[in-house]
Amino acid sequence: MSVIQAVANYFFPECCLACGAALSPGAPPSASYGTTSLPGKAAPPIPQPGMQLSASWCSNCLARIEPVCIPVCTRCGRAMLHPLSRTCLGCTAHKPAFRSLRTAFFYSGPVRDAALRFKHSGKMEMAARLADILLAHLRPCLDLPPDLIASVPMFPTRLLRRGYNQAALLADHVSSALSVPHRPILVRTRNTGSQEGRNTDQRHANVAGAFAVPKPDLVQARTILLVDDVVASGATASECASALMSAGASAVDVWALARPH
């Protein structure tokens, strides 16, 4: 850390992503949490206080964060308490279009608070720190980097109203960290509205056929990493992946910060 950075951190300390409390510069958190892993691979090391996590959560919030830990479904990444196979019953019955979906945390407590601040309160500056956390948990699971990074698109009128696409902001930082280009290869062809309050079947029906790839030549025979902030049923991610696969992509993997229990 440079002298200028140290002085800036002293007078303008980072704040907790969830509650907004000022964080003491250089002070490690007094609590820790676990991490996530891809099935068949050893769990990556638990991020240590010296990493970017110490500049992300206060001790009280950090202690209440719930990471997604193994075992998880090899396809959708859903936690499985007593797995009888490598895939969950849902993916066995209805195979998603994506190859894998992985999340770092459960969407509860401080993680939910941080995601809502980022999405609805104009806190675009949170993108870099949230992306760093996402990378700390999921980057160790990458065997090979993807060819392209995409983000879940918003319908133009919703994007204009909000002013930014939080998934695209995360994808920009993931792109920079992995040295893989982030391209707007997906578009949302109709305003699907919010998925909140819908059951799984309704969510799938709501987004069916709602995404397209205007320039298929950009994705043909390429592996795509699709980035989103929160996934619930996986319906939106699967529909995005379906559009990409139909356009010729070789595989689609999905990363998101959080998912519900």
pLDDT score, position 143: 83
Burial class (CB in 10 A: 0-12, 13-18, 19+), 170: buried
C-alpha span between 187 and 253 (Å, rounded): 18
Positions in the chain whose pLDDT score sits under 70: 1-13, 25-55
pLDDT score, position 36: 42
pLDDT score, position 38: 40
pLDDT score, position 189: 95
One-character DSSP codes across the chain: --HHHHHHHHHS--B-TTT-PBPPTTPPPS--------TTSPPPPPPPTTSGGGGT--HHHHTT--B--SSB-TTT--B-SS-SSSS-HHHHHS--SSSEEEEEEESSHHHHHHHHHHHHS--GGGHHHHHHHHHHHHGGG-SS--SEEEE----HHHHHHHSS-HHHHHHHHHHHHHT--B----EE-S-----TT--HHHHHHHHTT-EE-S-GGGTTT-EEEEEEEE-SSSHHHHHHHHHHHHTT-SEEEEEEEEE--
What is the Cα Rg of the chain in Å? 18
- Note the pLDDT tens digit of each residue in 179-231: 999 999 999 999 987 787 788 788 888 899 999 999 999 999 999 999 999 99
Residues linked to residue 253 through DSSP beta bridges, in sequence order: 100, 225
C-alpha span between 250 and 41 (Å, rounded): 22
pLDDT score, position 39: 40
pLDDT score, position 192: 87
pLDDT score, position 251: 97
Q: Which of 133, 134, 116 is nearest to 254 (CA)?
A: 134
